[in-house]
Amino acid sequence: MNKPLPNTYRQGPDSQGRFGQFGGRFVAETLMPLILEVEQAYEAAKRDPSFDAEWRRLLTHYVGRPSPLWFAERLTEHLRANSAREGFGAKVYFKRDELNHTGAHKINAVLGQILLAKRMGKTRIIAETGAGQHGVATATVCALFDLPCTVFMGATDVERQQPNVFRMKLLGAEVMPVTSGAATLKDAMNEALRYWVANVEDTYYCIGTVAGPHPYPVMVRDFQSVIGEEAKQQMMAAEGRLPDALVAAIGGGSNAMGLFYPFLDDADVRMYGVEAAGHGVETEQHAASLTKGRPGVLHGNRTYLLQDAHGQITEAHSISAGLDYPGVGPEHSWLHELGRVQYVSATDDEALAAFQLCSKLEGIIPALEPAHALAHVIRMAPTLPKDEIVLMNLCGRGDKDIFTVARHLGVEM
């Protein structure tokens, strides 16, 4: 029980792709040689300065990085006014990854992976998508690099994310609706893996989050860490010190891992990952894998999963299609058990309220995913002293969500 804490939280994963007991490579033999090939190619690319230079060139000139650090002054004042105590209400900053090309953080890791696929000589790209943000980012980069792209998307999500489906098609991608299982994100991932097994020779699978078999969790984390690295420098420039707390939404957990990772060894920085509580974690309708799930194996890695007593995977629910996944990246499971990151949750209703508040106070329509993170900021900031700083990853913009939100608010469009 009294395992010694590591002296760094930034050493994982080990050579087997494990973060403690989490992670690993749980795939069928047909995929195993390919996973090993991706790992080797990634290790080689990491050591090649020209790979990093090309990726950073694209981030600067194509994506628009660095994304700004924004002091959300009106929101801060609002939360201070709502605080029960004098002298309370932390300063709230946003890391504005919603300003990236394609409107979310996803493109950071997509660019890295597509550059890797090209190095590997792969000529066809596949991806899974839930809300469609990762699908759009992948379709975008494939258009840029003239690569054929197939995006697997649950038929249910195809229905509720029509604007993104059309975007992907405009960008030249083929969208494959997946009808197996519950026809949502996990089934899209199953289908992408099945397609990959059958097309191993020419195809690269561009995974959208810090999950899947090793090396995907570490690779996607490394690419997304650009978020936290920038934020660290920007915060030093703005405030001359590190923030007191970081907050990010968790579906698979790539935007959160990207923000947290560079700060993991800064002991004074508290971290909060916000899972989707759907209708409430006390109901069956949520996507809070860490809060309510238990460890298991799915999609190539050991991690916390929503599952029944017999190990069958249960359906997740969230108003946000991007958080609607019954698992979570393995590094989050590890950080959860170590207690380095606190994992909390926000309901559909709390996210909807935060979505509207942010729009009105800051003139920023956030995606429903970071609206969950914001819901936690709204709860937490008023309980912290005025001189504390909270940094939240505003990882996506909300244009894609206005139809969903309108429907929930009873507005006809």
Partner 1 sequence: MSRIAAKFAALKAEGRKALVTYLQGFDPDRETSLALLRGLPGAGADLLEVGVPFTDPMADGPSIQRAAQRALKVGATLPGVLDLVREFRRGDDTTPIILMGYYNPILAYGVDRFCGDAAAAGVDGLIVVDVPPEEAGEIEPQARAAGLDLIRLVAPTTDDARLPRVLAATSGFVYYVSITGITGTRSATAASLEQAIPRIHKHTDLPIAIGFGIRTPQQAGEAARLADGAVVGTALVDTLAASLDENGKARPETVGLVLEQVRALAGAVRGG
Interface with partner 1 by CB under 8 A: which residues? 16, 24-34, 180-181, 186-187, 190, 193-194, 197-201, 295-300, 305, 307, 309-313
In the complex, least distance from residue 129 CB atom to partner 1, rounded to whole angstroms: 17
Considering the complex, state which of residue 294 and residue 407 has its C-beta at the smaller distance from partner 1: 294
Contact 249, 281 (CB under 8 A): no
Which candidate, 331, 323, 320, 321, places its Cα nearest to that of 306? Answer: 323
Considering the complex, state which of residue 311 and residue 385 has its C-beta at the smaller distance from partner 1: 311
In the complex, least distance from residue 206 CB atom to partner 1, rounded to whole angstroms: 17
Considering the complex, state which of residue 175 and residue 298 has its C-beta at the smaller distance from partner 1: 298
Degrees to nearest 5, angle at CA 235 with 94 and 275: 40
Considering the complex, state which of residue 198 and residue 406 has its C-beta at the smaller distance from partner 1: 198
Considering the complex, state which of residue 34 and residue 389 has its C-beta at the smaller distance from partner 1: 34
Residues 6+ apart with CB under 8 A from 38: 116, 120, 204, 215, 216, 219
Considering the complex, state which of residue 3 and residue 310 has its C-beta at the smaller distance from partner 1: 310
Considering the complex, state which of residue 11 and residue 21 has its C-beta at the smaller distance from partner 1: 21
In the complex, least distance from residue 250 CB atom to partner 1, rounded to whole angstroms: 20
Considering the complex, state which of residue 262 and residue 327 has its C-beta at the smaller distance from partner 1: 327
In the complex, least distance from residue 320 CB atom to partner 1, rounded to whole angstroms: 21
Considering the complex, state which of residue 24 and residue 278 has its C-beta at the smaller distance from partner 1: 24
In the complex, least distance from residue 310 CB atom to partner 1, rounded to whole angstroms: 4
Which candidate, 139, 156, 130, 165, places its Cα nearest to that of 369? Answer: 130
Which candidate, 241, 231, 248, places its Cα nearest to that of 393? Answer: 248
HEC letters along the chain = CCCCCCCCCCCCCCCCCEECCEEEEECCCCCHHHHHHHHHHHHHHHCCHHHHHHHHHHHHHHHCCCCCEEECHHHHHHHHHHCCCCCECCEEEEECHHHCCCCECHHHHHHHHHHHHHHCCCCEEEEEECCCHHHHHHHHHHHHHCCCEEEEEEHHHHHHCHHHHHHHHHCCCEEEEECCCCCCHHHHHHHHHHHHHHCCCCEEECCCCCCCCCCHHHHHHHHHCHHHHHHHHHHHHHHCCCCCEEEEEECCCHHHHHHHHHHCCCCCCEEEEEEEEECCCCCCCCCCHHHHCEEEEECEEEEEECECCCCCECCCCCCCHHHCCCCCCHHHHHHHHHCCCEEEEEEHHHHHHHHHHHHHHHCCCECHHHHHHHHHHHHHHHHCECCCEEEEECCEECHHHHHHHHHHCCCCC
In the complex, least distance from residue 13 CB atom to partner 1, rounded to whole angstroms: 13
In the complex, least distance from residue 316 CB atom to partner 1, rounded to whole angstroms: 12
Considering the complex, state which of residue 32 and residue 170 has its C-beta at the smaller distance from partner 1: 32
In the complex, least distance from residue 178 CB atom to partner 1, rounded to whole angstroms: 11
In the complex, least distance from residue 181 CB atom to partner 1, rounded to whole angstroms: 7
Q: Can you read off the two tokens belonging to residue 190?
A: 């199953």
In the complex, least distance from residue 101 CB atom to partner 1, rounded to whole angstroms: 32
Considering the complex, state which of residue 160 and residue 194 has its C-beta at the smaller distance from partner 1: 194
* Angstrom distances, CA of residue 266 to CA of 9, 263, 285, 384: 10, 5, 35, 19
In the complex, least distance from residue 20 CB atom to partner 1, rounded to whole angstroms: 15
